[in-house]
């Protein structure tokens, strides 16, 4: 097994990492003064090459990919939303829009068919913590 280290070259922390579509790309959420998503292409030996970085909302806590629609979802805990990006064939991201969630979203997951996106909200009162179901058209 080869272990790849992703350096954190900015003030802040790496919050989430996702490997995409037959290991073509890796996307990493970074928090800090200027939160962002870093993107990497993956070589056949596992070596990462930076594609670039893309603006993210406030505290990009979790990332997930819809491999069917070639879309990246980024949970922004501080903004109480999920940003949706289209993934180009070269791995670059284009912001499509944002969907509101409950208070303090923590995690995002896409079902294997690509039809549903689930977001958990930590900040809701314990009796009413929720999972949001986002429409896939975005």
Tens of pLDDT, residues 10-19: 444 445 555 5
Nearest to 74 by CA among 93, 50, 89: 93
Look at residue 19 in the predicted model and tell me its pLDDT. Answer: 53
pLDDT digits (tens, 9 = 90+) for 62-80: 888 887 778 899 988 888 8
By three-state DSSP, how is residue 80 classified? coil
- Domain 14-134 falls in which CATH fold? Methylamine Dehydrogenase; Chain H (2.130.10)
Name 106's bridge partners.
Answer: none
pLDDT in tens, 20-61: 555 688 888 887 778 888 888 888 888 888 999 998 888 887
Q: What single DSSP character describes residue 102?
A: S
Q: Map residue 126 onto helix, strand or coil.
A: helix
What residues does each domain of the chain span?
14-134
The first and second tokens of residue 18, run together, are 């996702």
For the entire predicted model, the pTM comes to 0.78
């Amino acid at each position: 097994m080869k272990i790849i280290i992703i350096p954190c070259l900015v003030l802040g922390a790496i919050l989430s990492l996702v490997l995409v579509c037959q290991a073509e790309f890796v996307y990493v959420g970074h928090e800090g003064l200027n939160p962002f998503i870093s993107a990497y292409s993956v070589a056949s030996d596992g070596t990462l090459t930076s594609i670039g970085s893309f603006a993210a909302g406030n505290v990009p806590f979790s990332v997930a990919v819809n491999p069917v629609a070639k879309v990246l979802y980024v949970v922004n805990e501080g903004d109480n939303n999920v940003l949706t990006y289209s993934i180009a064939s070269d791995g670059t991201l284009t912001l499509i829009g944002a969907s509101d969630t409950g208070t303090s979203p923590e995690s995002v997951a896409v079902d294997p068919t690509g039809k549903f996106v689930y977001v958990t909200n930590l900040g809701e009162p314990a009796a009413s913590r929720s999972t949001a179901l986002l429409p896939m058209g975005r």
